[in-house]
Amino acid sequence: MDIDGKPLWVGAATHDIGFEKDQRNNGLTHKIDPDIDKEREYLGETLDSTGEVALLSHVTPSDPLKEAHTATGGTFFSDGQILVVQLK
C-alpha cells in the first residue's frame, strides 16, 4: 500500500526467550517474552540508531489489544500502543 506515494510497511515482532511444549501437537516451539512492548521499543530504538529514522511515534487504537494468548496457551500483554516509524 502506498500513502502519498510512499510505501507503507506493517510488521510485528516478539522476543524469543526459550522453548516450550506446543499444546496443539505435543511438539516443541518457541516461547516469547510476555511483555511484548519491550520488543516493540527495542525495535524502535535499534532502527533509530541507524540515523535513517525521521520520526518515531506511538498511536493507540480505539480498542487496543492489551492481553491475549499465544497459540500454545501462553499469555502476553501490552499497553496497546502501536509504534510508527517514518524513515528518511
pLDDT band at 3, cuts 50/70/90?
A: confident
Alpha-carbon span 74 to 32, nearest angstrom: 9
More confident residue, 73 or 53: 53
Nearest-angstrom CA–CA distance, 15 and 37: 10
Contact 6, 47 (CB under 8 A): no
Instruction: Read off the C-alpha cell for 46.
Output: 535499534
pTM over 0.85: no
> All 3 cell numbers of residue 67?
492481553
User: What is the rounded CA–CA span in Å between residue 19 and residue 24?
Assistant: 14
Average pLDDT of the residues in 60-88: 93
Q: Which residues pair with 60 in a beta bridge?
A: none
Categorize the per-residue pLDDT at 1 as very low, low, confident or very high, splitting at 50, 70 and 90.
confident
pLDDT (tens digit, 9 = 90+) per residue, 18-64? Answer: 998 887 888 898 999 999 999 999 999 999 999 999 999 999 999 99
pLDDT exceeds 90 at position 73: no
